[in-house]
């Protein structure tokens, strides 16, 4: 089981690698008043997503729910380059 700390470390890695290349853009929003993280991932970059018809993949994670933390962790882990 992945912890909230491991998830947030992975979020940090995604932010640091964001736009490192011209693709793989992450949009991450933290909604502190409801303890939720919303993540959108564009595999071919945000600007080219419509051009190549690759919509964003997204997930909304509740930091109060263990299953949601697992889903968020593996969502990022499986897409990060």
Ordered alpha helix ranges (H), the chain: 4-17, 66-77
pLDDT averaged over the chain? 88
**Phi/psi of residue 14, nearest 5 degrees:** -60, -40
Please answer whether residues 37 and 31 qualify as being in contact, where contact means their C-beta atoms are separated by less than 8 angstroms: yes
Say what the pLDDT of residue 25 is. Answer: 86
Domain ranges of the chain: 4-77
**Which long-range contacts (C-beta less than 8 Å, at least 24 apart) are formed by 27-35?**
27/56, 34/62, 35/62, 35/63, 35/64
The pTM (predicted TM-score) of the whole model is 0.85
Residues 39-67 pLDDT 10s: 999 887 777 666 666 778 999 999 999 99
Say what the pLDDT of residue 55 is. Answer: 79
């Amino acid at each position: 089981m992945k912890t909230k700390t491991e998830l947030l470390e992975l979020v940090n890695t995604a932010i640091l690698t964001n736009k490192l290349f011209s693709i793989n853009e992450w949009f991450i929003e933290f909604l502190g008043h409801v303890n939720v993280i919303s993540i959108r991932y564009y595999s071919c970059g945000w600007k080219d997503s419509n051009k190549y018809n690759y919509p964003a993949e997204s997930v909304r994670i509740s930091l109060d729910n263990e299953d949601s933390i697992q889903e968020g962790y593996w969502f990022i882990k499986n897409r990060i380059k």
